[in-house]
Structure 1
């Protein structure tokens, strides 16, 4: 059964972007108008009605308007005009200040707390329960002095988070090296990096420069130099910013009665407690330790063929020697593989694959109709059963002042009969040939976009889009990665310039080669998760030194001397203490994928059941229940453990 669609006499339309017009005014006017609407609806909630459905409808409209206002943060990350980005940051502070005030508004809380839930349907009751829970987590029941301090901390936290992200976004570093030090790089990469008047080549820390260089560049010193630059982005500025942000979070949790920020943060997540995060990190680390040790020994042996006295494999060696091992021992040459993945073909192939899988139609929107913020943004209307159910925007290449990583951002939360869901995928891919791991990343991130649109067909803003527990949100996207590894799927779009389809035996070799490094991946992920957790669990005077200690404890790669990676570790803001989410979600993703038939990944009965029971539900049920509804049983570690041992 497809997600329920509701139509009005006038079909819903996407929001009207200004295109080449006055973005500075438009961003401010939209944000301020939505805040004014939120305030009006909140006034209706507080008007004294005891009719629960009427009050909750007003609250839902308020939450919808707040979400629309909060989406101003998108323009701080993607707009090419620095003035618009700065204004969006200022407006975001206003929005978050208002949200904080609402969370501490005792009259508003009393109006909602006094409602009689009898007669409400399951969704409405869940909205009310979650809303009252969030009020208590905001500190509405604390004394006046505590609530005043919580306001101050919230405002400080918003500003610090913006500073942290802006320092990363604006700090593109570079190195200059002689052309001969590009040895090992593909021809198209070298052609795109000609020598300047001084006879030197400039390489930046943006992904299209960084990733191929550390994967294929044979000059170890140059790999180290560029890796060090990348790991020092936003240093030293973000060191103190992060310390201040961590302090704000610790004090907030303490004022609210929690032992630590991770305990506060995990209360509304699947994992349930801070200690459970620490235990999970150790569980995965212990499970992967032996395999990681065996794999790093293989890398070291290969490195010694080049550097006989080498005694360790460094982080900047891992991709390069991993690539050599796959080429020499698994007969997979990444430079050959990438010839089958021109960007434009991959993008279209992704649309075709997801359209077939989920029964969706992707219709290109002409630039003069979409009127987006940059001419490289590609927009598509999303259809299901001949009805438009949303719009997406793909902003996939790097530029100055743009968000530096890969993520999906909400532009509009979908509300049945009121507004179409619109989402934006923001990445930093090469405009030419893509590495296969970039193809996998694109499938992953696009999964969030599909989730946002499919779950934007219901009545409640609270449950619209990717609205599940935060440690589940990666699972659907991680599962979609599997389609980027299937030979039959890849054969539909992976073709060389000569028109040759990627050979099935090459894909099989790629899959075999991909098994190498799973242990390394798991322990390195746990070193990141440990930073995320332990930085928040208690104060540490020197985050660089403590981060290096955690690297030595969990990873098999020594810390990079002179690096301060925590300053560029953007997930310490958005995910705070919850970076474990990626591996936790992977456990569930492997279990979800076990329901699909390897011989027919497009089987509609399974694909549509997954679409309707997991993706389209948004936040209407707890994530564990969504998984159980689809699998017919609770999730388990078994599929993940089998994957790790494979």
Structure 2
């Protein structure tokens, strides 16, 4: 990985305790004005260097303006969140206008024609790729369609933005809860029950936020209580999001048709590794077929264990799966999740994550005092990222739940990295307890942090178009899924996993955890394909009743029956951002297992392979197609072999 000789620019100044409402507006509007000015400069420029230079600067400013979406998800002030949503609409309207700007398109198309002539100014590979991808984006926006079609596409784009914002906001703001008798918390860890005392009515309130939900579904022995809480979680944003989603699906179908595609999945996959909508359906079936026998065997084990509690039980419900999987692992694999979690206090895990990734990728994480970072909430921890003695970015970790905050786990861009112009800054947004963590939460944290590392390392190049996590969308999860492997290694965990007595997690316990983790791979793959099928088939054609059709897909692909009375599609946030592409998670896992095959499990920190991976995959951002990045690192094309071997273990 190479670096410019200049001193990297400083991080942006956040207002801290100051006027966030004014700052968010000024940041977004100022950068949007700058983008408009630069676009006019593109139209007036001549010569490849001037045209592409101005276009790159315009894309940089537009990315800065678009990052206002972050504040709609994380800021504690509802007025700031609402203003960010409004500004996001303005940004997206301008993005739509640009995509349909025939004069701008003509300038870039003429440049492409000129570049093909022998006497033209030579474009290097990156510049040529920027130009090719930009022209492709214009065509996908409909710039070459007739005036009436362009106008309708503009209307649909604006409608899509509003619907997406509504869909996400309804999920974010709708925290549901159940009230239970204290005895219904049987099986929960002591610290959980202590943190959830009975109220004046003698009842305990459990919410659908992750720190409440995940432990309860894992350890709660009361099946009726698990069902009640699961029903609440699967009905978040119901019924309002049902119509919102139907409207969003209709907008996407019409958009795809106007752009000459048979379906939204065909349009969506045109720029993905998988290549076509039909290939998504085939992939879902391929994974389902591969996992079918294993999932059936695992389901039999779960049902046998459930019958020890309920002799007449005929099915394992969705709300049973985590609980009985935990019991099987405890009783048959000697892994007690309540013991395991004592080795993972949040503060230790966070520092351990930084130490592990720093050692792996040669990075330094320097804490930034909150007063200097100027962040939006006291829970946020900030770090400057260093490589070879040079600051290359800044990250912000916002990892605990609060009212009005994004409910899941994701990495958000704050600043797109451009060499010599602006440092990459990213924000990790999660919802973990500040106390003990389940091991699967530790794995999730490693996964999400992988996106943050990718954003920073990939943000050292010259072109905004390929900065950070700018690869095909069905590859973006692969580097993060591969980083999960370090959260399963006994030697790695021994560096930070210690209980209250200061005892390091025993290697034999980690070995048992790994053996136990193999149980459930089949049922997990089957359930993932049920989610992927919803994502794909909801978009592939219209369906009057999304609940009924979702239940049909659950019965077709999962081994667990649908939860009666649930409307999970209303809370399934990935139906917005990933649209028809939820298959991405399993597609990326296939590639992640292949990438990991290059590492020596006896020495996961070996610098030759770790740094080659860093430089050939992560640091490249979107400068090459994902398949080429993988082949460059592995020395061969990617394959299913490693994933199939893992599934068979």
* Residues 1:42 and 2:39 aligned together: yes
Pick the aligned partner of 1:609 from 612, 634, 638: 612
Pick the aligned partner of 2:273 from 270, 274, 277: 270
* Residues 1:340 and 2:343 aligned together: yes
Q: Can you give the 5+ residue segments of structure 2 that lack an aligned partner in the other structure?
A: none
1:198 corresponds to: 201
- Structure 2: distance between partners of 1:594 and 1:289: 25
3-state SS of paired residue (1:46): helix
* Residues 1:493 and 2:496 aligned together: yes
3-state SS of paired residue (2:382): strand
* Residues 1:299 and 2:299 aligned together: no
3-state SS of paired residue (1:397): coil
Pick the aligned partner of 2:383 from 377, 380, 383: 380
Query: Conserved in 2, the CA contact under 8 Å of 1:7 and 1:416?
Result: no
Pick the aligned partner of 2:76 from 76, 80, 93: 80
Cα deviation 1:35-86 (Å, max 9, x = unaligned): 0110111001111x33011100000000000100000000000000000000
1:136 corresponds to: 139
Query: Conserved in 1, the CA contact under 8 Å of 2:178 and 2:207?
Result: yes
What pairs up with 1:198-347 in 2 under 5 angstroms? Answer: 198-347=201-350
Pick the aligned partner of 2:392 from 383, 386, 389: 389
Pick the aligned partner of 2:13 from 13, 16, 22: 16
3-state SS of paired residue (2:199): coil
Query: Conserved in 1, the CA contact under 8 Å of 2:160 and 2:251?
Result: yes
1:404 corresponds to: 407
- Structure 2: distance between partners of 1:419 and 1:24: 23
Query: What is the CA-CA distance between 1:4 and the residue it aligns to?
Result: 2.0
Query: Conserved in 1, the CA contact under 8 Å of 2:8 and 2:392?
Result: no
After TM superposition, the runs of 4+ consecutive aligned structure 1 residues lying more than 3 A away are none
3-state SS of paired residue (1:114): helix
**Count of paired positions:** 642
Pick the aligned partner of 1:126 from 125, 129, 149: 129
Cα deviation 1:432-485 (Å, max 9, x = unaligned): 000000000000000000000000000000000000000000000000000000
1:449 corresponds to: 452
* Residues 1:112 and 2:108 aligned together: yes
3-state SS of paired residue (2:316): coil
CA RMSD, Structure 1 to Structure 2 (Å): 0.5
2:165 corresponds to: 162
Pick the aligned partner of 1:5 from 3, 6, 12: 3
3-state SS of paired residue (2:638): coil
Query: Conserved in 2, the CA contact under 8 Å of 1:330 and 1:513?
Result: yes
Q: Can you give the 5+ residue segments of structure 1 that lack an aligned partner in the other structure?
A: none
Query: Conserved in 2, the CA contact under 8 Å of 1:179 and 1:199?
Result: yes
- Structure 1: distance between partners of 2:617 and 2:397: 24
3-state SS of paired residue (1:524): helix
Query: What is the CA-CA distance between 1:6 and the residue it aligns to?
Result: 1.7
Query: Conserved in 1, the CA contact under 8 Å of 2:344 and 2:437?
Result: yes
Query: What is the CA-CA distance between 1:7 and the residue it aligns to?
Result: 4.3
- Structure 2: distance between partners of 1:581 and 1:53: 36
2:27 corresponds to: 30
2:98 corresponds to: 102
TM-score by length of 1: 0.99
- Structure 2: distance between partners of 1:25 and 1:161: 25
- Structure 1: distance between partners of 2:160 and 2:106: 27
